[in-house]
Amino acid sequence: MKLVRYSKILKSLEMREIVLLKSFPCRWGRCSFCSYIDDNSTDPDEIDRLNSEVLLNVTGEFKVLEVINSGSCFEIPEKSLLAIRQTVERCGIEKLYFEAHWSYRHKLHEFKQFFKVKTFFITGIETFDDYFRNQVLKKGVVFANVDEIKRYFDSVCIMVGMLGQTKEMIIRDVKILLDNFEHGTVNMFVENQTEIKPDLDLQRWFKQEYVWLNDVKKVDVLWKNTDFGVGTVLNE
Ligand code: SF4
């Protein structure tokens, strides 16, 4: 599978370079909508070789680098983490974005200490509806309130347009994101091989009602899962 692994995010609150690195399989690995496993490997040498090549694309143009992988950043092998740190030093990167599952929330400080630059952590909440998030999507993200998320993470991702979701759920999710976070990502669900199916009517409604989100700087909207310029188009 050929993936685009380097790009630049230009339409966002913070312009940044982005790399899609390879990693070990997601430790949680149970989300019912997730097909990321296709880009995982258990061979650290293969992963490190590829990641080193990908990181050579980084120039430090914006002094900000987002590192994503098909899982959480804690599933990136150690040598690749060292390669990221070398890239930070080589390019004068001042801020790193990472993504991690909620279960890693007590480890985030390790990355802060390791990279010694500003870190910005994103987590996939998908929806603030507890039942849909954990019983349907099997996300394994249990929190008491939004403040608990903010204690650990700077930004959340939500997902829209799945069968079983309602307009009311989406309206509430977007409102919570906008009212509480300095940055967020809205992902339009793209059909894959999993049991979760898109709700095309709901997606049409969302595109009409929320087109204005394109102008909200603190929200990155991925109408397609390749809108950041990395990854393959799963459904075209
Ligand atoms: S935590 Fe992320 S990578 Fe892991 S199964 Fe869930 S969506 Fe997939």
To 5 degrees, how large is the angle CA 59–CA 63–CA 68? 80
Residue 235 located in a structural domain: no
Which mutation among 20, 23, 36, 99 tests ligand 1's pocket best, with the greatest number of atoms within 8 A of CB? Answer: 36
Residue whose CA lies nearest to ligand 1 atom number 3: 71
Atom of ligand 1 nearest to the CA of 33: 7
Residue 230 located in a structural domain: no
Residue-wise pLDDT for 65-105, tens only, equals 999 999 999 999 999 999 999 999 999 999 999 999 999 99
Residue 150 located in a structural domain: yes
The rounded Å distance from CA 167 to ligand 1 centre is 24
Structure tokens at 17: 């370079």
Kindly state the average pLDDT of the residues 218-226.
Answer: 92
Q: What per-residue confidence (pLDDT) applies to 1?
A: 66
The rounded Å distance from CA 92 to ligand 1 centre is 31
To 5 degrees, how large is the angle CA 122–CA 128–CA 130? 120
Q: Is the pLDDT of residue 236 over 80?
A: no
User: Tell me, what CATH number does 39's domain have?
Assistant: 3.20.20.70
Residue 24 located in a structural domain: yes
Residue-wise pLDDT for 153-194, tens only, equals 999 999 999 999 999 999 999 999 999 999 999 999 999 999
Q: Is the pLDDT of residue 232 over 70?
A: no
CA distance linking residue 111 with residue 56, whole number of Å: 21
Which mutation among 26, 156, 159 tests ligand 1's pocket best, with the greatest number of atoms within 8 A of CB? Answer: 26
- Percent of the chain whose predicted confidence (pLDDT) is above 70: 97
Mean pLDDT for the chain overall? 95
- The DSSP symbol for 143 reads -
Residue 228 located in a structural domain: no
Q: What per-residue confidence (pLDDT) applies to 227?
A: 86
Number of structural domains found in the chain: 1
Residue 236 located in a structural domain: no
Residue whose CA lies nearest to ligand 1 atom number 6: 31
Residue 22 located in a structural domain: yes
Residues touching ligand 1 (Cβ under 6 Å) are 26, 28-31, 34, 36, 71, 101, 124
Kindly state the average pLDDT of the residues 135-140.
Answer: 98
Residue 207 located in a structural domain: yes
- The dihedral region occupied by 100, where left means phi > 0, alpha psi between -120 and 50, and beta the remainder, is beta
Element (H, E) at 221: strand 219-222
Residue-wise pLDDT for 8-20, tens only, equals 999 888 999 999 9
Beta bridge partners of 66: 18, 97
In terms of residue numbers, what domain contains 82? 6-222
